[in-house]
Structure 1
């Protein structure tokens, strides 16, 4: 058995991964990353900060998107790569948690490959981007193509924060850290942004069979409260946990408790 602090990393099933913890498997699909590699440095510390609270009771597999995405790829194509990887790695249904863009992949996966998903958790994710989220990602792609990394990072961080102060602080951080958030215009990232821009799974939510938990902030700027509520309402028997006065959430300690409680239920 691995120690809780031990981290494995590499490529498995064609996808870059981090693995930490022990217990039942939980596949973790992250939000947008600057590149489609195993994270290093500050990015690795950030990702592991989300994984380790879950890893106290789970063997968490953080999976990045596949290499070589090109313009015209769809969210269904990306989810299909994940379905192949999950069957190769585990050979049975496993729990899947998707954050933000990773939640879009997770929803598509649950709809297209129901035999791969035991339970589904969506954190700050919905069946389609909200208008502000769509605008932020389009601007991010525009600035990356123009070589304006700091402006791209500010656009991406426009969806963060729950109020004027936290929103302004997030954009300032984007300007200061620039490429740490969005890289230098990786074609894989631009293709992913295009795929999510076209993503809308509303008409298929009723067919999702995996027990589902939707977690979000009531002041999420990327999706908005209404989209989170409609997503949960359209998936049969899905549950919704909304944190009041919170914005676009990652997997923080307050999020971990309802997630693990949901996953541990028979």
Structure 2
């Protein structure tokens, strides 16, 4: 299959993790943001994801990986990270570069801390070592509304915009879009939201030994800049880049995003710069 001029191969990794692969070069595993369904995205949601990934596919063989369907209630983030680690060991046979987007960043950080043998270098984009109480509350409202058969996507407006007026407009639009992206079975996303609700690596960031890049927008209302900074400061070999004026989704849409990720990962390879200095720009 070809999408946006790129050859795309779809499949399933061990532990039933859905993925698609595209691009050429060294492998880069991308752990997806919060998704309504635990399956490879289609239609509108795939288009949004590919707009972020396509520039990186010129430099890497990307493996966009989602969570497994049939997630049991009571699953923890450590459980999810362990299943991802097993799948990546089976697929690659050694450490691989990993990038986590938003909620995928939570999974990536947990995996890097619990299973350091799996992660060669780590990129955490639009995510931090814990969620804020506000994000927990809004994510809970969204998933519980959808699980009850009500529209809930408007609760994600804080992710889509960084100003009160923008959030009001985004909330109205998301309310209208809700039926188009509502999953047939919401139990998976509800189980994942509850797992992420308990995610907190405070005090464990020193267990992340992979060179790490933390990327975030200065106007991200999901994750304040202080959380990005705490995450980077807690990891010995780390770099922090913040994007002025950008919110949560703006991080992934930044014209610098792909270049910053590519430069960082190139610097951690053979002949690279070694220790990554902490900087904010």
- Which of 111-120 and 243-252 deviates more? 243-252
Which runs of structure 2 are paired with 1:73-92 in the superposition (5 Å)? 73-92=75-94
Structure-2 separation of matches of 1:158 and 1:184: 24
- 1:29–1:98: 8 Å Cα contact kept in structure 2? yes
The corresponding residue for 1:10 is 11
Task: Say what the alpha-carbon RMSD is for the aligned residues.
Answer: 1.7
Q: 1:33 to 1:163 in 2, by over 3 A?
A: same
Alignment partner of 1:183 is 2:180: no
For the 8 Å contact 2:144–2:190, the answer to whether it is kept is no
Verify: 1:132 aligned to 2:134, yes or no: yes
Normalising to structure 1: TM-score of the pair?
A: 0.94
Superposition misfits of 4+ residues, deviation over 4 angstroms: none
Q: 1:67 aligns with which of 66, 69, 81?
A: 69
The partner residue of 1:114 within 113, 116, 124 is 116
The answer on whether the counterparts of 2:116 and 2:210 sit within 8 Å (CA) in structure 1 is: yes
Q: How many angstroms does 1:255 deviate by?
A: 1.2
Taking structure 2 as the reference length, the TM-score comes to 0.89
> Counterparts of 2:179 and 2:208 in 1: how far apart (Å)?
37
Structure 1 window deviating more from structure 2 (9-18 vs 179-188): it is 179-188
Structure 2 residue 218 is the aligned partner of structure 1 residue 218? yes
Whether the 8 Å CA contact 1:34–1:179 is kept in 2: the answer is no
Structure 1 residue 39: Cα displacement:
1.4
8 Å CA contact 2:218–2:246 kept in 1: the answer is yes
In the TM superposition, 1:9-28 aligns within 5 A as 9-13=10-14, 14-28=16-30
Segments of structure 1 that go 5 or more residues without pairing to the other structure are: none
1:209–1:180 distance in 2 versus 1, CA, 3 Å = farther
Alpha-carbon distance between aligned partners in 2 of 1:181 and 1:243, rounded to the nearest angstrom: 29
Aligned length: 263
State the Cα deviation string for residues 103-122 of structure 1 (Å, max 9, x = none).
00000010011011010001
Q: CA deviation at 1:257?
A: 1.2
